[in-house]
Amino acid sequence: MNNLKYLITVFICLTVLSAAIIYLYANDNVTTLSKEDTLVVASFYPVYVAAENLVDGVDGITLKNLSEPQTGCLHDYVLTPEDMKLLSDADVFVINGGGIEAFLSEVAEAYPALTVVDAGINIEKASESDENGHAHDHEDEENAHYWMSIPLYEQQIEAMRDGLCAYFSTDKAVSQKDGSNRSPDDHTTNIATQITDNASAYLSALQDLQSRQADIAEKLAGQKVILFHEAYEYVAEDYGLEVAYLLDLDEERQVSAGEIADVMQAIEENGVSLILAEEQYGKELGDLVSEETGADVIYLDTIVRGGEADHPDAYLTRMQNNIDLLANYAAKNKP
């Protein structure tokens, strides 16, 4: 009886061991195969969604997001050891630009050979002034929330397209993979073509979205507005809204009684009836101000968070939701 138990135990152990060996061997093969792909890393969610549209269906490219999809904006973001490991394996690092990736100098120092594609390289930075009582938490930073403006987001897509195509149009993409110095082959040329085609299709969809936005902008142009997030400066610009006051809220922002009083004063002095706010950080204050003044508060999506399984159309869908909210406001407040 004891011998039988012993044999059964040995059999079970051997079975488990064999399964483990098979699993490790299979995963090792997957890792080896994935090394043949070009690893493109996006800095955070909005960049990831944009890059996903450009490389969608393109064989030979693996796309990963550096930060967690729920990280939000990268203000004060600190790279983790896991981030550095991912970047050490990356071939291309796609960034939003404009100073949002404050850790970029650290990355450049650690990985000088890493190709960086800056999506904000050709965008004229929004000026920040305090003439309208603006209150900023990040006074030394550019307003780099470019994706909140559809026209600027289109410029970002073009910059990503050009940067990725430039990478695949040089011998770097080939030589990094096989150790040779040969010129680009048909495969890498085809990748650049697919990226260009994908970019054209995505830009066409964005143009449609921009047209819908323009229809609403005609009804809202010139209206005074208060913003509870600097990302909405680009929304105000696209819709022709006049910013009477900006209070830049985020997860660490503690609003003082004096700032609340300033908001109330700005509403009264400028006849403001519309506030744009971010629900996660601005809802408590937005609800308070709305109750006290009667101003309408629209909670717009800043599109900085999402899920791993989000569809590439996430930006189009969520920006359309923002347009719908402003359209509903415009319809209720006809002159």
User: What's the average model confidence in pLDDT over 300-309?
Assistant: 84
Note whether 188 and 233 are same-domain residues: no
Helix, strand, coil percentages (3-state) for the chain, rounded to 5, are: 55, 10, 35
- Boundary-marking domain end, from 187, 205, 223: 205
Answer yes or no: is 138 within a domain: no
Note whether 195 and 290 are same-domain residues: no
Q: pLDDT digits over 29-39, tens only?
A: 333 334 578 99
Note whether 62 and 166 are same-domain residues: yes
Mean pLDDT: which of 12-26, 128-142, 247-261, 316-330 is highest? 316-330
Answer yes or no: is 258 within a domain: yes
Q: pLDDT digits over 253-275, tens only?
A: 678 899 999 999 999 999 999 99
**Which token pair is 109?**
């120092």
Note whether 88 and 179 are same-domain residues: yes
Predicted local confidence at residue 31, as pLDDT: 33
Q: In the predicted model, what is the mean pLDDT of the chain? A: 83
Predicted local confidence at residue 219, as pLDDT: 94
Note whether 42 and 173 are same-domain residues: yes
Residues spanned by the domain of 126: 38-133+144-205
Judged against a pLDDT cut of 60, whether residue 176 lies above it is answered with: no
Note whether 163 and 271 are same-domain residues: no
Neighbours of 142 (CB within 10 A): 17
Read off the CATH number of the domain in which 239 is found.
3.40.50.1980
What is the count of structural domains for the chain?
3
Q: pLDDT digits over 135-171, tens only?
A: 444 444 579 999 999 999 999 999 999 999 999 987 5
Judged against a pLDDT cut of 90, whether residue 68 lies above it is answered with: no
Q: Which regions of the chain does DSSP assign to beta strands (E)? A: 38-42, 61-65, 92-95, 115-118, 224-227, 242-246, 274-277, 296-299
**Which token pair is 138?**
């990040």
- Boundary-marking domain end, from 205, 227, 246: 205
Judged against a pLDDT cut of 90, whether residue 232 lies above it is answered with: yes
pTM of this structure: 0.82
> Burial level of 121, CB count in 10 A (0-12/13-18/19+)?
middle
Note whether 27 and 65 are same-domain residues: no
* Alpha-carbon distances, residue 13 vs 3, 7, 8, 22, 191 (angstroms): 15, 10, 9, 14, 47
- Boundary-marking domain end, from 205, 220, 239: 205
User: What's the average model confidence in pLDDT over 287-302?
Assistant: 95
CB neighbour burial string for 59-95, b if at least 16 within 10 angstroms, e if fewer:
ebbbbebbbebeebbbeebebeeebeebbeebbbbbb
Give 124 or 302, the one with higher predicted confidence. 302
Answer yes or no: is 270 within a domain: yes
Answer yes or no: is 319 within a domain: yes
Note whether 1 and 127 are same-domain residues: no
Mean pLDDT: which of 32-46, 122-136, 170-184 is highest? 32-46
